[in-house]
Chains A and B, each alone.
Chain A
Amino acid sequence: MARLLRRTGIRYLRRHPWQFVLAVGGVALGVAVAVSVALATASATRAFVLTNEALTGTATHQIVAGSEGLPDELYRQLRVEVGVRAAAPVVEGFVALAANPARSVRLLGIDPLAEGSIRNQFGADPATRDFPLGELLSESGAVLAAAGDERFALGQSVPVLVDGRQVQLHVVGAVRGAEDSGLGDVLLADIATAQEVLGVTGRLSRIDLRLDGVDEDDLVRRVQGILPATARLVAAQARADTTVQMTRAFELNLQAMSLLAMLCGLFLIYNTMTFSVVQRREQFGALRALGVTRAEILRLVLAEATLIGAVGTVLGVAGGIGLGNGLVRLVTRTINDLYFVVTVRELALPPLTIVTGVVLGMGGTLLAALIPAAEATRVSARLALTRSVLEERALRTSPRLAAVGVGGVAAGFALARWSGGGLAGAFAGLLLIVLGAALMAPVAVRLVAVLAAPLGRLAGAPGLMAARAMTAGLSRTAVAVAALAIAVAVIVGVGVMVTSFRMTLVNWLGHTLQADLYVSPVSPRGQAATLPLDPAQLAAVRAAPGVQRTRSIRAVSLETEGGATQLLVVEHDEPDRQAYRLRGDDPDIAWQSFADGAVLVSEPYAERRGVAAGDVVTLPTPSGARVFAVAGVFYSYASDRGAVMMTRGVYDLWWDDPGISGLSVYLDSPESAQAVAEFTRNALRPALVSVISNRELREQSLRVFDRTFLITGVLRTLVTMVAFAGVLGAILALQLERAREHGMLRATGFTPAQLWQTVLWQSSLIGIAAAILALPLGWLLAWVMIHVINKRSFGWTLQMTVPAEVLWQALLVAVGAALIAGIYPAARIARTPPAIVLRED
């Protein structure tokens, strides 16, 4: 490109700094949001993978058996009977720090004598060992902690809580480089110590194996031959992948939302570039007359967009890294609440994420600039296509655009609902709906202009001019309206979705939590809890004064073909039916079938595994795999991984596990709650139990829910900020473009106050047009999010609730944002002397 042509572009941007800053800001914010979400989720995944790699070492396979674990004897059989040399037993669980019970630490029990073949650094070989083997093996409660971790100084005693018991651990050595290798939050102990601490004497959590080499298939076959029925031999990598996959839907939802911020940013770029092209039509015409080719004009406009994109992308990536540091905490907390325990020490910066951010910023900017750039090349040297011709064209094409938009929305809706499209199809459908709605913006503007026609009578000349300006500058106003409408629709959509989810949860908690008190062991997050009770203690609680009845629940994890499956064991009787609402028309038949030995599956389980009433599920029991008929599907929002529920009678028939995980206590009168709670705590000593009331449990559940959606709120705010920048840019462009007209009005006697009114009236009308478009669009987004995306991501059915306040808020945000965006241009116009405006033109 000619040097002077390039210079015209740079000088144009320098002469319109606000335009440049807003456009750069739009790209930067969009990129920052997308990059930060990607970095935060990648960091959590990386932390998990790192820890997992350190914990599995060189193992190629693992023998696992759910929360019940494996017998010690299996390890001996493996080495002696099968002849597997590279094998290491592991006992793994979580303990809570007594000083801070909310904080879980992983306890990894290993056999140093067997570790050499799997995790060399923890082996007994003095040449590679870096810890006091003697103390680790002989001292009670001896553990190794990450070197440099102030919580676990050498020689320190660390009281921890597990399954309602307090246990003392002693730090006898340090693991160097633990932070870097993902073992920062891991305490290492001898296997016997871990069994004692976690209360699983004689059991192993898993056995890590290295089954590589020439006779791998044969070895695998022989290992499988000695496995107990509840155990499975799985590839180590595949197991880790399955765990990471659990968070995929959650991460995908976050990423989709971050892309909405980028989409709003792109509207801003489109608007900025269109304005810059329209403003320079005469200049482009003159250049074309001088012999500048269309390709050179195209390159000129795209070069400007590239500059905006480059500056915005650099700032966006830097901002994304900063924002990512904040978001990673929210993401990690949600993953810990909903999926698995992971500790993220630092923000990971995978080059691919940064490259994606750059591609998104640069590619998006250039894409958004492409239409204005093409428009610039169409500027004829004849200069015949004036602004009014342009607006006339915009008016003429608006019905056609709206028709295409309606088609886009319909196609998007159909695509989203098409079950073959999966989650990606649903998001693509959502994008189509948003773009389709954006195409309806010109018609929405025209509608508001018609409705606002009486403004001339009500608000005089300023009102009349504001109403007329809506259609007179349709090509500008429509873009501003589209950007604002999308942001407000996101507010409505996400607001309705979150409210619907919360209301569904509140209802579900209302009928699920029927008891007055809930008793569970004080146990760390991530640990399958067991109440360490003897029957006499339980009988004492059941017979306590004021207690009407109690119901126990047992929650265990089973290793099945489809991964870990939660099994809920309930004491079934009539009133419990209230606690579980069943899908389908005839719950009585399902309950009868359940009482007769069939199982119920939760809705997420049914959705994920494609199971329905009348089907069967196969579960591993100590006496082999058993097939259970599925009586029905119950609504449950406890976990998106799903659960299988059976009666205690059926469980006792196939499993030899008298343990219980929790107790629901029904009282004669709610007034006795405090006294019964106190009695229960004393009766169950020395076990440390948590006894909480129905209300507290509901509040706790809702706190977790609100925490989970905190990140959604943050993203919603960021999307609104980008859209606000877009509206500010559009209104500035609109008003500055009419500077000459304003100058003339001032010259003919319009007061600054009247100019203020004109601009603010127009801003309000833009806000109203955006709201008219945003409310139905938001409702549609919410519908797709609730009935399609949520269902496909997590398997939950949510009752859609459209709260009036969300709609009012959206209207306020739309008009408020437009009004605020109008203040600066109004002030600027009102204080500029008319002579300067007229001369500048």
Chain B
Amino acid sequence: MVRVQGLGKSYVEAGAEHVILADVDGEIAAGEFVALVGRSGSGKSTLLNLIAGIDRPDLGEIWVGGSRIDTLSERERTLFRRARVGFVFQFFNLIATLTVAENLQLPLELVGRTRGDADGIVAGLLEEIGLADRGAAFPDRLSGGEQQRVAIARALVHDPDLIIADEPTGNLDLETGEQVLGMLGRMVRERGRTMLMATHSREVAARADRRWRIVEGRLQDEQG
């Protein structure tokens, strides 16, 4: 499902080059859940961004679902993301000016689903995440855990191939984090989707099928 080969990425800061990723190779099979671990600043978010098509590598190739994305234009990568990637962020990043239901409808509208279709899908998902009665509420009326549940539903609503999650429990208390993680894992597996999740938590990483550890810019594959 995901294959990276010879991936390299560095940034220039104050005239000096900082290598973030160097010669990274790795592969994730369809339906697999891989946890991405490493220290703060090790390059986890950079790798997520590269695989999601948000950023471009300096070197190497990135293949997602049979498409090579590192050679796509900025617009093509945006359209790729729109159709095939679902995002879950640490800080939820729900659109504050849209209601909960509208936040879920947005990805469907972007991929061209009709409103009738979208309403049905959104209602089902809201039911599934236990927020059927909060569809008309704006995100700022929801607790952190509720907001992250909406964010998970938003990541899955348009049925993407790949879910990218960046520290999805990093901003939640332990108990809520557990619940949210349980829900995310269940929903992804039920739908047979592939997930790459960056995390600092050993417990979270332990739930994954495999772990990718980034150490000094290189990827170490650790079996689950």
Contact = CB atoms under 8 A, between A and B. Distances in A.
B97 A291 contact: no
B102 interface: yes
A289 B52 contact: yes
B106 interface: yes
A286 B78 contact: no
B102 A291 contact: no
A457 interface: no
A4 B54 contact: no
Interface in B64-91: 74-75, 78-83, 85, 87, 89, 91
A3 interface: yes
Nearest to A285: B93
B49 A282 contact: no
A674 to B, nearest CB: 78
Nearest to A286: B93
B216 interface: no
B109 A293 contact: no
Contacts of A380: 54-55
Contact of A283 (B80, B82, B83, B95): B95
Nearest to A11: B97
Nearest to A289: B87
Contacts of B75: 293-295
A286 B89 contact: yes
Given A2-B106, A12-B97, A291 B54 contact: no
A15 interface: yes
B16 interface: no
B140 interface: yes
B109 A292 contact: no
Contacts of A221: none
Contact of A4 (B79, B94, B106): B106
Contacts of B45: 382
A303 to B, nearest CB: 14
A583 to B, nearest CB: 62
Given A2-B110, A294-B74, A381-B54, A8 B82 contact: no
Interface in A268-304: 282-283, 285-295
A293 B55 contact: no
Nearest to B107: A290
Contacts of B91: 282
A840 interface: yes
Contact of B140 (A9, A282, A840): A840
Contacts of A381: 49, 52, 54, 81
Contacts of B22: none
Contact of A293 (B78, B85, B93): B78
Contacts of A382: 45, 49, 54-55
Interface in B88-138: 89, 91, 93-98, 102, 105-107, 109-111
A387 interface: no
Given A283-B95, A382-B49, A290 B82 contact: yes
Given A290-B107, A291-B81, A292-B78, A4 B98 contact: yes
Contacts of A840: 140
A116 B49 CA distance: 87
A293 to B, nearest CB: 5
A3 B114 CA distance: 11
Contacts of B93: 282-283, 285-286, 289
Interface in A426-440: none
Contacts of B55: 380, 382
Q: Which of A12, A282, A285 has the most CB of B within 10 A?
A: A282
Nearest to B94: A286
A7 B110 contact: no
Contact of A294 (B78, B107, B140): B78
B107 A283 contact: no
Interface string B131-164: 0000000001000000000000010000000000
Chain B facing A: main interface SS: helix
A88 B209 CA distance: 106
Given A4-B98, A7-B97, A290 B110 contact: yes
Q: Which of A9, A293, A295 has the most CB of B within 10 A?
A: A293
A286 B95 contact: yes
A287 B55 CA distance: 15
Contacts of B79: 291, 293
B164 to A, nearest CB: 9
Interface string B42-65: 000100010010110000000000
Q: Which of A4, A282, A840 has the most CB of B within 10 A?
A: A4
A7 B95 CA distance: 11
A286 B139 CA distance: 14
Nearest to B155: A290
Nearest to A292: B110
Contacts of A289: 52, 54, 81, 87, 89, 93
A7 B102 contact: yes
Interface in A809-823: none
Contacts of B74: 294
Contacts of B106: 2, 4-5, 290
Nearest to A291: B82
Contacts of B83: 291
Contacts of A283: 93, 95-97
Interface in A1-31: 2-5, 7-9, 11-12, 15
A264 B142 CA distance: 41
A832 B54 CA distance: 39
Contact of B107 (A291, A293, A295): A291
B199 to A, nearest CB: 18
Interface string B149-191: 0000010000000000000000000000000000000000000
A557 B105 CA distance: 79
B72 to A, nearest CB: 13
B150 to A, nearest CB: 12
Q: Which of B97, B105, B109 has the most CB of A within 10 A?
A: B97
Q: Which of A8, A285, A294 has the most CB of B within 10 A?
A: A8
B152 to A, nearest CB: 14
A735 B96 CA distance: 20
Contact of A8 (B52, B81, B98, B140): B98
Contacts of B154: 290
A3 B140 CA distance: 21
Contacts of B85: 291
Contacts of A4: 98, 102, 105-106, 109
B140 A7 contact: no
Contacts of B109: 2-4
Contacts of A11: 97-98
Nearest to B96: A283
A527 to B, nearest CB: 68
Contacts of B87: 286, 289-290
A779 B191 CA distance: 71
B9 to A, nearest CB: 12
A282 B97 CA distance: 12
B97 A290 contact: no
A8 B97 contact: yes
Closest 9 CB pairs of A and B: A291-B82, A11-B97, A286-B93, A381-B54, A8-B97, A291-B81, A293-B78, A4-B106, A289-B87
7 contacts: A2-B106, A11-B98, A290-B87, A291-B111, A293-B78, A294-B78, A295-B75
Interface of B: 45, 49, 52, 54-55, 74-75, 78-83, 85, 87, 89, 91, 93-98, 102, 105-107, 109-111, 140, 154
Interface of A: 2-5, 7-9, 11-12, 15, 282-283, 285-295, 380-382, 840
Given A289-B89, A291-B111, A292-B110, 20 more contacts: A2-B106, A4-B98, A4-B109, A5-B106, A7-B102, A8-B98, A11-B98, A282-B93, A283-B93, A283-B96, A286-B95, A288-B78, A290-B154, A291-B78, A291-B79, A292-B82, A294-B75, A295-B75, A380-B54, A380-B55
